[in-house]
Amino acid sequence: MPAFPILSVSRKPILLFLFVTVFIFLYQIASHPKVSRTMQSSAYYTNYDERACLPQRVLDKNPPTKKAKAAIVILVRNKELEAIKETVINFQNVFNNNFDYPYVFLNEVPFTEEFKYTIRQAAPNASRIEFGLVPEAHWSYPSWHKKKYGFVVTLLENKNTIPSLWKTVQQYAKSRHIDISMPQSPSSSPLSSASSKRVNNNNHNKRLLFPYFIDPSTGDYNLCHFWSNFEIASLNLWRSPEYRDFFQYLDQTGNFFYERWGDAPVHSLAAGLFLSTDEIHYFEDIGYQHDLYRHCPTKESSLGCRCTCPEGTTDKSIDHDQYYDTCLPVWKQHVKHEKKNLNWNVWS
C-alpha cells in the first residue's frame, strides 16, 4: 500500500485555538445577567467608599497605614452570655482579627468569672479585653428626672358617668386632711405665697396638681382628665399606701359599678391628690391616635422626631388639640400659673 505522508503540524496554534475558545466560553457564562449579579459585591449604601466586606488578600496586600484610636464597647448583662459569645466569635473572625481593637464590656453588676472566661475563649487572639462596671446612677433613672405620671391627651370626661365622683373625692380629701383649695393669685395678697401651698398628711408644703381640675368660676370639677389610653406612670404611685387607701375609699361606694366610674378620671384625680404639677409630664413629642382622636407634635415646639402625623381634621382623624373638648389650653394655663407662683414663692 502506498504510504501517505504525515503532515507535521505545530502544536502551538492548536493550543492557542483551544485557549481562546475556552476563554470566550467562560466569558459568555460570566457575562450572563444571573451570574454577573451574584458576582457583584454588595453594600448597604450604594455610595460606600469601600466594599461591604474586604477580602483578606486585599488587606494582606495593602494593609492600612494606621488604624483608628478606638475600642469595641459592649453593654451586656451576665444572662446574655451565650448570645454575646456568638457575636464576638463572628465579629472577631470577619473583622477584628485584622485590626485587633480592644474590647470593653460594661455591665450594671460585676461580671461573673464564667462570663469573663467564656469571652476570652471566644476571642483568643484579642490582645486586650476589659470588663467594667457602670455606676447605678449612670445606668438607672437620674435622681433629678422625678416624673411620676405622663400623658399625651387631656380632655373632658362624660359628666353622666361620674355624677358623684367629684363629691366623693372632696369627702375623701377632707377625711384625710388634704388641702385641695384653689391657691390665691400671687398679686392678690402679701400672704399668698403661704396660702397657696398645698398640704397633705405626708407631703408638707407640696404644691399639689389638684387645682388643675377645679373650675375657678364655680369651684366645681371642670371635667378635665388625662386620657389613660396612653399614660406612662410610676408603679410607685399605684402601689403607694395613699393611692391604695384612696381606691378602697372609692370602691366601697359601689359607684365603679353603679355609675361606671372610669379609670381615667380616677387616675387623674389621684395624681391631683398625691402629685405636684412638676411631677407630671406632657408628652408633646409623641404622636398618638386612639379611635378618631389624635395628637401630633406641634411645629412650634420642634419636638416631633420623624413623626408622620396627618394634618387637620377629617372623618377618620380628629386633631384633638384643636377640638372642642380638649383640655390642653387649661393644662398650659395651669402650668404657666404654677411657674408664676413658684417664682413668687422663691423671691418671697
Q: Is 86 a catalytic residue?
A: no
Give phi and psi for 281, each to the nearest 5: -120, 130
Nearest-CA neighbor of 229 among 157, 318, 289, 165? 289
Catalytic residue among 80, 114, 157, 231: 231
Q: Distances from the Cα of 185 to the Cαs of 179, 181, 334, 347, in angstroms?
A: 17, 13, 12, 15
Do 320 and 326 form a contact (C-beta atoms < 8 A)?
A: yes
Q: Would you tell me the crossing angle of helices 165-175 and 241-251 to the nearest 10 degrees?
A: 130
At 270, which amino acid appears?
Answer: A
**Cβ within 8 Å of residue 217, ≥6 positions away:** none
The sign of the dihedral angle between the CA atoms of 5, 10, 13, 16 is positive
Tell me which H or E stretch contains 154: strand 154-156
DSSP 168: H
Strand bridging mode 288-290 / 293-295: antiparallel
Place of cell 437620674: 142
DSSP 182: P
DSSP 79: G
From edge to edge, which strands make up the β-sheet containing 129-133? 72-75, 103-107, 129-133
Residues serving a catalytic function are 231
